[in-house]
Amino acid sequence: MNTSTQARYSKGAMLFHWVIAIAVIANWRIAEAAEHAEMPAKAEIFGYHKALGITILVLTIGRLLWRWAHPVPPLPSTLAKWEAALARTVHVIFYVLLIGLPIGGWLANSLTGRSVDMFGLFTIPPLPVGMNEALGKSIFDLHGLGGEIFIYLIALHILGALKHTFIDKNGGIFRMLPFGKV
């Protein structure tokens, strides 16, 4: 039987989770702000979106490395099979999007001849893929669609955590917090 400590994620996993979660939501809001801005402010705001996207990619790689070195707690045994399958599927899709969206954004920028300025600290050059404006635009469109899907999955994830915590009373959200009863 799991004790409260064994049922929780490690402190490192918690830190990665919450920093990435905040960064993803902030980056979504930055992209929304950029979409409604006029040039040249639009380009400047998208610059922050790109830099934060690459930061999220680096954090996600760190999180995956951490996860491989620190086992995750098992899902609560009280979950229905469909809930466990949905949780695992959503988590896999999260990782695909956390890696795929920044790489897709970098690729689309590269295809349109743009580098990524990392908050004025350094510049990430375009990938060596040549210019292809049409393909770059298509990838930008897919990037936007992936971002929308991500936001809906985040909402589903939050609703699931709240359901497990307050309806099922299995302390679901406290698995990823250093306090509360699991």
Domains in the chain: boundaries: 4-176
Buried b / exposed e over 131-153, threshold 16 CB at 10 Å, is eeeeebeebbeebeebbeebeeb
| pLDDT at residue 75, rounded to an integer | 87
* Torsion 165-169-172-174 (CA) sign: positive
In sequence order, the β-bridge partners of residue 123 are 117
What's the predicted TM-score (pTM) here? 0.90
How far is it, in rounded angstroms, from Cα 118 to Cα 62? 18
Cα–Cα nearest to 91, from 112, 122, 63: 63
Residue 171 has pLDDT above 80, yes or no: no
The first and second tokens of residue 109, run together, are 């920028």
Percentage with pLDDT > 70 across the chain: 97
Q: What is the mean pLDDT of residues 55-83?
A: 93
The first and second tokens of residue 63, run together, are 């999180």
**Which contiguous run of DSSP H or E holds residue 117?**
strand 116-117
| pLDDT at residue 3, rounded to an integer | 41
Residue 153 has pLDDT above 70, yes or no: yes
Residue 4 has pLDDT above 80, yes or no: no
Q: Give the pLDDT band of residue 158 (cuts 50, 70, 90).
A: very high
pLDDT in tens, 97-123: 999 999 999 999 999 999 999 999 999
How far is it, in rounded angstroms, from Cα 41 to Cα 13? 36
Cα–Cα nearest to 107, from 119, 115, 117: 115
* Torsion 105-110-113-118 (CA) sign: positive
Burial bucket for residue 177 (CB in 10 Å: 0-12, 13-18, 19+): middle
Q: Which fold has domain 4-176?
A: Fumarate Reductase Cytochrome B subunit (1.20.950)
